[in-house]
Structure 1
């Protein structure tokens, strides 16, 4: 069963990137199916890139590392 979008894509993006974790350079995590439904993967990736952040996908989760520093995957 498909679940309808809960709000306008621009509003959804604004809400996600207004989180305190973003302002502190932390991380935000969202279910990949939720992102696909609300704004689509390409729009989400565009918004992450536009901010100079990093995006990792693991186990059905999209993890945004909200800083522009270099990144190294340890394991």
Structure 2
């Protein structure tokens, strides 16, 4: 994502986030949580993610958006006997 000026509207931020070919192809994108909070607000952003049928998780200051409706699983090592 290009650095957006501080006065960017929430609509412009959303357009920038969701215009990517990765989104169109059902891949995964990420955005800094601080940028989401700054440009649109967490609740509004997550509402838009879910409105599109996507899922999101947060880790280490990053919001990871799964741009598809496939299940998300936390992978763990198998127990060895």
* Fold shared per TM-score above 0.5: yes
Whole-angstrom CA distance in 2 between matches of 1:6 and 1:24: 30
1:73 deviation in Å? 1.4
Structure 1: runs of 5 or more not aligned: none
CA deviations 1:31-50 (Å, max 9, x no partner) are: 11111000000011001000
Indicate the residue corresponding to 2:12 in structure 1. Answer: 11
The structure with more radius of gyration: 2
TM-score by length of 1: 0.88
Give the superposed CA RMSD: 1.3
- Runs of 4+ deviating beyond 4 Å: none
Structure 2: runs of 5 or more not aligned: 77-81
CA deviations 1:3-44 (Å, max 9, x no partner) are: x73411011101111111101111111111111000000011
SS at match of 1:28: strand
TM-score by length of 2: 0.82
Does residue 28 (structure 1) correspond to residue 29 (structure 2)? The answer is yes
SS at match of 2:58: strand
